[in-house]
């Protein structure tokens, strides 16, 4: 599996924060940040990821998920909070099945709601923007198919995808490509599930989440949500999916998790 530094680099570039500036604000060397982004050092600790999230102005949970550090973060919280540890132990002892865990989660969400901090991508994926079993020979093919499914001038969207690709790249890891087109068009997204993986340096891509964003809408939250879905197993969830509705349901489940 591709290293998490790839997604961290993409999010840093989308945020407009330079490598040296990030390193300075973290109190580390730029060489260290570069090694993390290129997969030459171990994945960042939960503390480091929280600090990065603060610099990039992202919710800490996003980078903790992208960095596959949710487990250690939860363990640290439970260790610090005896009440949380006791509650979790009480639930585990009851041997709840998946449906019962879902019931508990629904109660908690209804009783103690939190503000929605991440944009939801599933509502942007209307059925005619979902393509399954796509055969594409190149990145240009992928861009063209995605542009054709979105609202706006197809050629202008295509140019915007290519420009953004040259500027920051589009891969977020875990087999997911997230092209972005910013311009004078409505907010929208297209989902392409490829029949055969396509190598887009430095990853094998199987799922494409193409985003069309108006010029006055911030890019980072949408790319961060796509990276979070990739880390949660988007490629695996869509593998072998047949039909638009099952694909959208898979994304909705991941976003509600």
Tokens 């599933």 map to which residue? 122
* Distances in whole angstroms, Cα of residue 215 to Cα of each of 152, 212, 221: 13, 9, 14
- Residue 54, pLDDT score: 95
Check: CB of residue 214 under 8 Å from CB of residue 187. Answer: yes
- Residue 92, pLDDT score: 85
Range of the domain at 30: 5-71
- Residue 101 falls within a domain, yes or no? no
- Residue 73, pLDDT score: 59
Q: Are residues 132 and 246 in the same domain?
A: yes
pLDDT digits (tens, 9 = 90+) for 198-216: 999 888 999 999 999 999 9
* Distances in whole angstroms, Cα of residue 6 to Cα of each of 127, 176, 211, 241, 244: 30, 11, 19, 27, 29
End-to-end CA distance of the chain: 22
DSSP one-letter string for 36-94: HHTT-SPPPPHHHHHHHHHHHT--HHHHHHHTT-HHHHHHHHHHH-HHHHHHHHHHHHT
- Residue 1, pLDDT score: 45
Residue where a domain stops, chosen among 30, 52, 71: 71
- Residue 105 falls within a domain, yes or no? no
- Residue 94 falls within a domain, yes or no? no
Beta bridge partners, 44, equal none
- Residue 40 falls within a domain, yes or no? yes
Q: Are residues 201 and 128 in the same domain?
A: yes
- Residue 225 falls within a domain, yes or no? yes
DSSP 119: -
Q: Are residues 131 and 249 in the same domain?
A: yes
Residue where a domain stops, chosen among 54, 71, 88: 71
Domain containing residue 246: CATH number: 3.40.930.10
Residue where a domain stops, chosen among 71, 99, 114: 71
| Helix/strand number for the chain, H first, E second | 13, 6
Q: Are residues 205 and 140 in the same domain?
A: yes
- Residue 95 falls within a domain, yes or no? no
Q: Are residues 136 and 250 in the same domain?
A: yes
Residues with Cβ < 8 Å from 238, sequence gap 6 or more? 193, 206, 207, 247, 250, 251
- Residue 78, pLDDT score: 66
Q: Are residues 220 and 136 in the same domain?
A: yes
- Residue 38 falls within a domain, yes or no? yes
Q: Are residues 159 and 40 in the same domain?
A: no
- Kindly give the parts of the chain with pLDDT less than 50: 1
Q: Are residues 130 and 237 in the same domain?
A: yes
Total domains, the chain = 2
Domain containing residue 67: CATH number: 1.10.260.40
Q: Compute, in degrees rounded to 10, the torsion defined by CA atoms 114, 127, 212, 176.
A: 80
């Amino acid at each position: 599996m591709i290293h998490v530094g790839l997604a961290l680099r993409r999010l840093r570039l989308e945020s407009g924060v330079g490598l040296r500036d990030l390193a300075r604000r973290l109190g580390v060397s730029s060489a260290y940040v570069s090694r993390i982004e290129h997969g030459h050092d171990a994945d960042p600790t939960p503390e480091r990821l929280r600090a990065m999230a603060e610099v990039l102005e992202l919710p800490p949970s996003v980078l903790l998920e992208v960095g596959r550090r949710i487990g250690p973060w939860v363990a640290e919280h439970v260790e610090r909070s005896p009440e949380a540890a006791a509650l979790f132990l009480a639930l585990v002892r009851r041997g709840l099945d998946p449906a019962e865990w879902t019931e508990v989660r629904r109660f908690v969400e209804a009783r103690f709601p939190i503000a929605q901090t991440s944009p939801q991508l599933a509502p942007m994926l209307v059925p005619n923007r979902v393509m399954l079993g796509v055969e594409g020979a190149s990145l240009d093919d992928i861009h063209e198919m995605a542009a054709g499914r979105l609202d706006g001038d197809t050629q202008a969207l295509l140019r915007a995808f290519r420009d953004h690709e040259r500027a920051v790249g589009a891969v977020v890891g875990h087999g997911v490509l997230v092209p972005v087109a910013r311009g004078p068009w409505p907010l929208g997204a297209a989902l392409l599930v490829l029949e055969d993986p396509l190598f887009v340096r430095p990853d094998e891509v199987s799922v494409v989440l193409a985003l069309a964003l108006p010029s006055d809408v911030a890019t980072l939250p949408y790319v961060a949500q796509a990276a979070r879905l990739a880390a949660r197993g988007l490629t695996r969830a869509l593998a072998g999916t047949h039909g638009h509705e099952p694909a959208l349901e898979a994304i909705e489940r991941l976003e509600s998790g």
